[in-house]
């Protein structure tokens, strides 16, 4: 699946990532005070992003899950559940 910069931005905003602009757009997810996921994208506008496979892997999503995130059927809670299933984050006590 091809993803454009505005779609990536919408996904990381929906999932609650914090961002910082540098030579790339950096994004990270803080969960219970801990940085659990980091990703970045280039500043390309209007075209498909390069290294999309790497972005998908950084987000810990498979192709279907990334597609669901882009078309807005995967929300933050669903994303957190995916991260729990993959043991990226621990279960809440």
Q: In the chain, what are the domain boundaries?
A: 5-85
Two tokens, residue 23: 């030579």
Residue with tokens 């280039």: 42
Reported as a single tens digit per residue, the pLDDT across 9-53 is 999 999 999 999 988 889 999 999 999 999 988 877 777 777 778
pTM, full prediction: 0.85
Task: Choose among 32, 33, 40, 35: nearest CA to 92.
Answer: 32
18/51 Cα distance (integer angstroms): 21
Greatest distance between any 2 Cα atoms in the chain: 43
Please state the separation of Cα 3 from the chain's center in Å.
12
- pLDDT > 70? residue 92: no
């Amino acid at each position: 699946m091809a993803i454009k910069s505005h779609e990536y931005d919408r996904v990381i905003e929906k999932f609650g990532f914090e961002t910082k602009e540098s030579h790339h757009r950096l994004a990270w997810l803080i969960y219970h005070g801990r940085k659990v996921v980091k990703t970045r994208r280039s500043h390309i506008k209007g075209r498909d992003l390069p290294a999309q496979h790497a972005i998908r892997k950084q987000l810990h999503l498979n192709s279907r899950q990334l597609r669901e995130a882009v078309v807005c059927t995967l929300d933050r809670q669903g994303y957190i559940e995916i991260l729990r299933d993959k043991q990226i984050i621990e279960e809440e006590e």
